[in-house]
Structure 1
Amino acid sequence: MRIRDHRADDEPEINLIPLIDVVLCLIIFFVITTTFESRSVLKLELPRAEGEPTQAQEKALSVLVNADGRYFVGDREALRTDVDSLKRTIAEVAGDDRGRGVLLRADARTPHQAVVTALDALGQLGFRNIAIATAPEPRAAEPAR
């Protein structure tokens, strides 16, 4: 009596479910990591000033005002442009640390009122160490000797 081996009759097949899972995880990973550089999308033209650059504080709170007058605190955008909304956003990002330095970066084309509003909100919250970021003046070509 001959016993037949049924394993030889099985057709090999490729299971696509694990492959689909891996591809989906890679897509989600790449979508999330590309949003980390969202701050680089904001193009600022800083106002010009003369003077020596100061050492940047490593843990300074960054408040950004773009040319349209919209506010960005750290990596969060304030929902509205009024003082209360900006104060809420600053308080959420900064927490209770009011001794922390603040770097205010405003576009050169920003309306003056937007910068004053940001300074007002920071002052009302108790921040005293506020620096305004500027770009150095372009050096004029020196005359040939």
Structure 2
Amino acid sequence: MNFQRGRPKEEPEINLVPMIDVLLVILIFLVVTTTYSKFAELEITLPEANSTEIDKKVERPKSIDIAVTAMGEYTIDTVPVKSTSIEYLRDALRNAARDQEDPLIIINGDENASYQSVIRIMEAARLAGYNKITFVAEIKPEN
């Protein structure tokens, strides 16, 4: 039995406005509460190059000098390192540090050394527990 003879059937309607409102509120909530990751896991002290002479009276902390060649070879305190694995470099750094608590790691990188070679020695220093890392820069004479 159809009691609604003369009236036309109503078409079902989907109202999108409330759904869009809810999605915008969710989007705003996510943007406000998102924390952005910081890439400051490893603090690096970059050298400042100036032409003034360093005071000779300042006591320099104990340091380990590391040279990275353009071919990716390493020397730690003038001793060539045989392997380039991170674990071997970590052990070589620990041997060079001997009984020092947190020595200063000085990286002398060739200008043509690969980025990966420098990162590898930094990772080895991090695994060894050494946090003080610096780089050597050459002072260019002013013309």
Asked if the contact 1:103/1:132 (under 8 Å) is kept, the reply is: yes
Hey, what does 2:92 align to over in structure 1? 89
Could you tell me the TM-score, scaled by structure 2's length? 0.56
Bigger helix share = 1
What letter corresponds to residue 75 of structure 1 in structure 2? Answer: T
Q: How high is the sequence identity, in percent, across the aligned residues? A: 18
What is the count of residue pairs matched by the alignment? 92
Q: Residues 128, 58 of structure 1: CA spacing in aligned structure 2 closer, same or farther, 3 A cutoff?
A: closer
- Give 2:133's match in structure 1, choosing from 123, 130, 134: 130
- Give 1:73's match in structure 2, choosing from 67, 76, 79: 76
Hey, what does 1:112 align to over in structure 2? 115
Distance in 1 separating the partners of 2:107 and 2:118: 9
Task: Please list the CA deviations of residues 43-79 of structure 1 after superposition, one character each: whole Å capped at 9, or x if unmatched.
Answer: xxxxxx8633777836311111111111111132211
Q: Residues 57, 67 of structure 1: CA spacing in aligned structure 2 closer, same or farther, 3 A cutoff?
A: farther
RMSD: 2.3
Hey, what does 1:52 align to over in structure 2? 50
Distance in 1 separating the partners of 2:115 and 2:109: 10
1:121 equivalenced with 2:100 (yes/no): no
Asked if the contact 2:62/2:100 (under 8 Å) is kept, the reply is: no
Asked if the contact 2:66/2:106 (under 8 Å) is kept, the reply is: yes
What letter corresponds to residue 85 of structure 2 in structure 1? Answer: D
Q: Residues 129, 117 of structure 1: CA spacing in aligned structure 2 closer, same or farther, 3 A cutoff?
A: same
Task: Please list the CA deviations of residues 73-113 of structure 1 after superposition, one character each: whole Å capped at 9, or x if unmatched.
Answer: 11322111111111121111112424111111111110110
What letter corresponds to residue 73 of structure 1 in structure 2? Answer: I
Structure 2 stretches of 5 or more lacking a match? 1-46
Distance in 1 separating the partners of 2:61 and 2:92: 20
Hey, what does 2:24 align to over in structure 1? none
Secondary structure at the residue paired with 2:122?
helix
Worse-superposed segment, 70-79 or 96-105: 96-105
Distance in 2 separating the partners of 1:59 and 1:50: 20
